[in-house]
Amino acid sequence: MKIAILGGDGFCGWPTALHLSAQGHDIVIVDNLSRRRIDQELGAESLTPISSIEERIAAWQEVSGNTIRFANIDVAQEYDDLLKFIIDEELEAIVHFAEQRAAPYSMKNSKNKRYTIDNNVNATGNVLTAIVESERDVHLVHLGTMGVYGYGTAGMKIPEGYLDIEVTTDEDENGNPLAEPTRVQQQILYPTNPGSVYHLTKVLDQNLFAYFAKNDALRITDLHQGIVWGTNTRETSLDERLINRFDYDGDYGTVLNRFLMQAAVGYPLTVHGTGGQTRAFIHIQDTVRCIQIAIENPPATGERVKIFNQMTETHRVRDLANLLAKIADAQVELVPNPRNEAPENELHVKNDTFLDLGLNPTKLEEGLLLEVTEIARKYADRADLSKVPATSLWTSKQSAGVPPSV
Ligand code: NAD
Ligand code: USQ
């Protein structure tokens, strides 16, 4: 298939591009390299030494014999270029990763809140509008987040996108009384409860998808992904120049990879609050496999948006910290939580679709120590410890002292 990877220079996008190329697909990466510019802005760098996009692509050609092409387009700002690209390329699928994805970065200040909303909502709106205007039949696969649901259970497993509801009514649609109460059944998008401006943009994306699937019969899959951990995949391990990025700084580093790096350099693991937050996780190798499966199982024309929960395990933050303390001899420190989030929560998630379609998950206990020794310790001398503390605060003047209403 001919597939475009929007955001293909990023942490999830790059290994996905290589994986799909290795499967024999014709891959073109679209990226405006904004993530590399944000590294410069923050004075932070990937723990692993990532090559330029040109070097990455040349190395892949050398190692695999496959060609990946690259187009530098800002998906949020350069609509005409995006439209021309979609018309010229005759794509069968587009994988859309091209958004600002860090919750702390999105909460840092007004500029970052506005950038995250502008960039993410415009990027998604532009892709959808351009697919319609191009008149091409392209399957759009988007990377969404488990965070659209919030992190609670409502007494049930979180379903894959849609919630069955039953309402008892004693009047009909015109307001006329019914002889006896009648039960009405429906399926609705699972109610949203985002925990940051970033997560909120993924909620807004969901409504864009529902509308374009309904009005324009676009074929769309939205993958509600948990926190990705790990670094390399089969393909990125083939050559040092293909290595994936590893974020550990207070804005972009996600919890488990931060703990892996902290364990490797002897920095006490930064558990926010009590560490009672439970979150969903998936290894990067499973991410790329899930995207392949989603591409191979598109919705039919006219079908509603397909939503899959792309996660394999749930864990409490303090349990992860204690596990690493045990296997990697790390110290654990409870630090004040910079975020406005529930201090403790349960999380139970349905993920049957991917398992039924053949996903064989990488287990945390299998890969964890390997990550500490083969990645985090190997590149420990590149770590800048001044970038570890999370300094982006969720509180505003109005919310100071008000407990989270989650
Ligand atoms: P990333 O920041 O490493 O990659 C995103 C890429 O998109 C970057 O290369 C960036 O330059 C590019 N980009 C951003 N805005 C763009 C624009 N307007 N035009 C063109 N390119 C643009 O992030 P990631 O970790 O690879 O995440 C990819 C997607 O997966 C995101 O949408 C994110 O919300 C989702 N996701 C990530 C995780 C995770 O743990 N990393 C978990 C769940 C969901
Ligand atoms: N946390 C710590 N210590 C740290 C860092 C984080 O205790 O040093 C805690 C946070 O307070 C939070 C939890 O760990 O309770 C997860 O934080 P995170 O930064 O790993 O994850 P999050 O901000 O939710 O964002 C990440 C990705 C985002 C993706 C999301 C999936 O950056 O793109 O959408 O995970 S999910 O969490 O399932 O919504």
Structure confidence at residue 85 (pLDDT): 98
Tell me, in angstroms, the distance from the centre of ligand 1 to residue 102's CA: 9
Is 145 a catalytic site residue? Answer: yes
Helix (DSSP H) and strand (DSSP E) numbers for the chain: 12, 14
What is the phi/psi pair of residue 78, to 5°?
Answer: -110, 70
Which protein residue has the closest C-alpha to ligand 1 atom 41? 228
Cα separations in angstroms, 39 against 43, 167, 242, 377, 385: 6, 49, 19, 21, 15
- The chain-wide mean pLDDT, for the chain, equals 96
Nearest CA, atom 18, ligand 2: 254
Confidence of residue 155 (pLDDT cuts 50, 70, 90): confident
pLDDT given at position 312 = 97
Which residues sit with their C-beta closer than 6 Å to ligand 1? 7, 9-13, 31-35, 74-76, 97-101, 119, 123, 143, 145, 225, 227-228, 254
Q: Is 198 a catalytic residue?
A: yes
* pLDDT of 406 strictly over 90: no
Percentage of the chain beyond pLDDT 70 is: 99
Whether the pLDDT of residue 366 is over 90: the answer is no
For the stretch 180-219, pLDDT in tens is 999 999 999 999 999 999 999 999 999 999 999 999 999 9
Work out the average pLDDT over 370-379: 89
Helix (H, G, I), strand (E, B) or coil at 276: strand
Q: What angle do CA 240, 289, 135 make, to 5 degrees?
A: 105
The finding on whether 280 has its CB within 6 A of some atom of ligand 2 is yes
Instruction: Give, using CA atoms, the residue closest to atom 1 of ligand 1.
Output: 10
Q: 396 pLDDT band (50/70/90 cuts)?
A: confident
- Residue 341 CB less than 6 A away from ligand 2: yes
User: Both tokens of residue 363?
Assistant: 């287990």
Question: Domains in the chain, ordered, with CATH?
Answer: 2-387 (3.40.50.720)
Ligand positioned closest to the Cα atom of 142: 1
- Ligand at minimal distance from the CA of 319 is 2
pLDDT value, residue 405: 63
